[in-house]
Each structure stands twice: as structure tokens, then as C-alpha cells.
Chains A and B, each alone.
Chain A
């Protein structure tokens, strides 16, 4: 997205009007940059700006102070209107030390010429090594063309507090509120909200620091921005993807969530443990993921559909039990907040590596529904939909979220609670004489399940091959019939789905296909190219299994089709790679095998959300080829 700049004089200073800006606040962990960033995001959102906040999380809980890999903080993309993704590189960064900053520079996360507000206490530090590394870094950054503004944050804060470490973040917030022309009162309100549980003296101290930062910036900073807001006019909430999933669990009427802690999924369960349990919901922390999944299956079997929440390694452990739920036809919602893999991989980083293992995983043919929310709002509604599908079709529904959605925050329209979202009470009525527990419908494969407590419905569900009475059966025809029924349910669901919406040109040169969290960045790139007259379009697949109808017909309207994903695919330019050996990305593999269309792929596994600018370059290259 290009920034439109209108510069006007405000007093003796210039105030530049921007369409959007990306701001980052980073520190050692524990220094409060996260809170500063979150507050800034919330203030912007209350001003009516579009925002996309991304957490910057070091891999370790407490990396050593002043380390290149230790950056902790937040990155906020602030725009005039709705923002769909984290955008490209950063325009302005506040850094509490030069080392965490260098980490971001090395990761190529800063825009050339980016404004850097840098804590300068290190210049006069007792330790000569620190002084040296600071001055060297400073010079290197200036030379590289960054606009570095040194700020005596520590010194200024010490005027107000004995422990500057604890107040710096609010001082920085004050500076940023000044720079982005946010109303100071909004910031005061935000502080009151953030520290709402603390004593008034804490709130007052923080407000004082905020105001000091603001005042300092007014006196010392010679630039100022404004990003005019276009409020949606609707009531909005701003949350991250995991909170959104958790709210979805609450609104779906499910009673129990079984889990085992794993990054980046755990915060959803943390939140549920707080909020869900107030109304009798139960979060069971099991002894491992196998137990969590089996527990959820047992709970679903005897009652309402249950959810289990995990990430990649935990998902692998659940696979056998997921097969059991598929085989025994027990409703179950599994949330997999994907992270980098394989093995322990990159726990805090973004990747979409679990698609094929989800679709094909668990041994044998274990057809299950696989959905992928594309936005933070989607995370919420996906759970409600998943619960309903699971109970309608008596099967497993997997929701594939990822670390990009889980750690990003975005405002969206406040959901209006509907009673129909809630799971209905379980059936406890007597089962009609002669009814069978697996009376598979010949067309849809659906059978009505009998729930313990229903008189006359007694039977033993089993993971072994079974007949309509749920009797273990190795008869060849019966096995064939069971597999057919379980597979048909996906076809039946498929008939209820709508084709994906095409974003961009209805036909043309290039169609980009994505799934999950890449939607916003892909659409931004497509929109930019369209504005330049390119005939490109994109679709985002919400259902990966079964797939929505009409996909082949859409693909045929474009000369080329390309998927963009954050999972592995071989680069066709590598020496050993050719059509015989190339491993395609997950979605491309699925599309190629299903539709016999020559779908190409471009993927990246840098642990970061793909940037719109990167996608733009990929698309331009693909258009030219």
C-alpha cells in the first residue's frame, strides 16, 4: 500500500498526514514494550483507526539482557481504514537498547530510512564495552540511512520514578501519542483500563509518565504524523486469534475443553480457564495430548460435542484418537494453532505446515472436516460452525489456525450473541425399537447417534470395524459399507458449501490461492497490482476438506494459478529439482491431485507472516514468466 503524504504546518512544526504507518516498540523482555504496544494499538483502535498488532516474542522466556535475539514487544500497523494484515517493513521503531534493535535490522524488518527512537542511556554507561557497542551501532545505523533520534528515556523517567525500568514504556507511549497526534485523554483512559485492577496511585504514576513523554516529545521532536481515522460506526472489539477462538468456544455452547499446554495455543485455554469457568464451563488440563483428546472424545460421546486445543506436536499425539472419533463417529472439535515444524521446530513462529498431516493423518482412511480461519474474526465464527458440523455429521472437525492469527490483534464488529449458536441439549429420549446405532443413510452416510442415558439405545461403540449394530465385524462388505458411509458424510457437507469468493479480476492472467492467515497479505498484493492494471485475482479457501464447490471452474478462468503458503515447497531453480522430484506445497499438492490443473506454488518458511510486498514481487515474476 502506498502512503499518501500531505504535509501541513502545525504551529512551527510539520504534521504529515499518512494513510498508514507501521510502528514497533521493542525492549528486553520484562521491560514493558508489549504493554506499550498493546496500549498504542488500543488507543489507535479507539480513535477509529484500522490496526493490526503483532507480538514480537523471543523464543526464550528470559533471554539475556541486551541480546540480538531477545527483542520483545509489539508491532502495530495503523491505518486510516480496515487493516487486514501486518503489512511490510516497519516505518518507526522505539528501541530500549541497540541490541534488540540490531536483531530487527538483521531480520530485515525495518524499512530503509525508517525512523528509530533510541534510548541513549547506553552512551554514558559505566561499562565501556556497552558504550562501544552502542556508539558503533548508532553510527552503523546512521550510515545505513536510518533516521535515528536519541532519547534520554531513562534520564527523563528518573525525574519521576526511582525505577525507570518500570516506567519507560509509558513514557514511550506518551512520545508516540504525540507523534501520531492521538488525543492524550484517550491514552489516559487506556491506562486506567489497563491498570484497572491496581490501586489509583499506580494509575496516576503511569499517567504522569505518559504526560511527561508527551511533553518531552512536544519540546524535542521535530516531526509529527496524523493518520485520519474512518470509524466504522459499528461497535467493535479488538482481540487476538486465540481469544477469538476461546470466545467461539463459549458462544458455541460446548461445555468442556480438554487441553495440554503448548505454544502458541495455550493462551486460548488460559483465557477459557478465566472466562468460561464463570458459567460452569470446564477446562481440563490433561496429563498429555493423547489424554486430552481421549478425554474430549469420552465427554463428547456421553454429552455435547467437546473441544481440544493444541499445536503441531500435540496434534501429532492426538492423531490415533482422532481416528477413533472418526471411526466411532463421535463429534469432536480439534483446534490446531500451527507453529513451525517438524518436531519442536519453532514454537513461537508462523507456519502452515500441518495441512496434509491433518487431512491424511491418523492411519487408514480417516475422513474429517478441515477448516482454516482467515482472519481473527473468522477464528470466532469457525468454532461455532465447527461445533455445528461436528454434531450434525457426527465427525471430527479440525480448525487450523496459526501463530500469525494467535498473536495478532485486529478490531472487528462485535458479535451479536445468538441462542442458535449454542449446542442443543443432548437427546435422552428412548430409542425406537429396532433402531440401530449406525443406521447409515444410503445417500449421506449420516447416522443418528445414541447417547448414554437413552433407554433402548445400549450398544458398545468401537474403533474396530463394525456393522450397523456396532458389532465388531470383519465381513468384507460391512467394512466397505462403513468406510463408504464415513466418506459420504464429507460429500454431504460439501453440498452445503458455497464457492469461494473471487477477490479481484473475474478472469485474467493469474489466480492466487491461499488458505488461512495469508488472506489479508495476498489481497493487499492483488489489490496493488490490480491498481496497476494487472489481471490478477485471489481466493482463500476456508474449507480444505471437503473443498468448496466451483474451485476448478474459477481456476480455469485464469492463465496461471499459484498458491502462496507458509510451508515447504522445493524451489524449481535448485539444481536437483525438476518435475520428477519437486515437492509442492500442501495446498498445491491437494489442488493438483484433485483438479488436474497445473497449479504452481510459492512458499516461505521464515517463521514470519508473508509480507504483501514479497507477494507482490512473486506475483510480478509469475506474470512475466
Chain B
């Protein structure tokens, strides 16, 4: 029996957003909200009020965030974080990488873990990365899913894809 897959937080991401390339594919995206009055975007989502001090808007709609951004900064966790981070104390700690990613359209920076295997040596400020589905932790009860960032492979950048499609 397949184990249940549960988002670590409900409503922060989905794998069911229409791809931007017109391919008809459904893709993984972070989900924010946008104020219908002033256009401010929020992630994590604000659903009840707009935090723009000049706006009294209280109607916010869900919007997928840009699938790609550029690295604002990055670091790693060489020591096991405390709870509520979930890790098995019986297993030696494996450092993971954190990436802060600047989204151009939203003009905001979003933090996330890098995909497994991506180390600080693989990253540079300004590098293009994309958001991908990931697993945060799992146990007998099921899998908790999350978002990860990973460098965009050279060959699958937008230009490379265009070249492929036109050939």
C-alpha cells in the first residue's frame, strides 16, 4: 500500500499548476496570495488581510509563484536543528543546504532547502534555480512533502528548450 503523502503545511505548494511554456503540462509551484485591491503578493499566504499599510483590502486570491528565481544567498546546517525539525537522532546528521531565492516578478526572497545532493559548492549568488517537489521527512505514518530549490541544468534552461522545440 502506498504511504500517504502530506504537505508539511497545507496550501503552500501544489504540483498542479499549468506550465508556462504552453506544453499543457502540470507543474510544481509555491502558492502565495495576492491582494485584489493593491496587488501585493504574500508568501507564506495571507488569507484574511493585506499587510500593505496603505491598503484596507481583505480579499486575497491564491496565486502560484514564479517557478524560477536567482540565488540571493545560501548556507548550510552542519548541526542537527532542534525540534520541531524532524530527524532521527540515531542516524548521523547529514548537513543540508538552505537557499534564499529572489523571485523577479514578485520582487521577494523565499527561503527553502536545496534538493538533496546540492551543496554550497554547487551554488553562487545570482545563479538561476527552480522550485521542485521534495520530501522533508517520512516515517511509518507517511511522507511529509515540501519544496526544494535546485540549480537549473544548463541544457534545460529556457533558451535550450526553445532551441530543442525549434529543431
Tell me, yes or no, whether A binds B: no
A-side residues, CB < 8 A to B, are: none
B-side residues, CB < 8 A to A, are: none
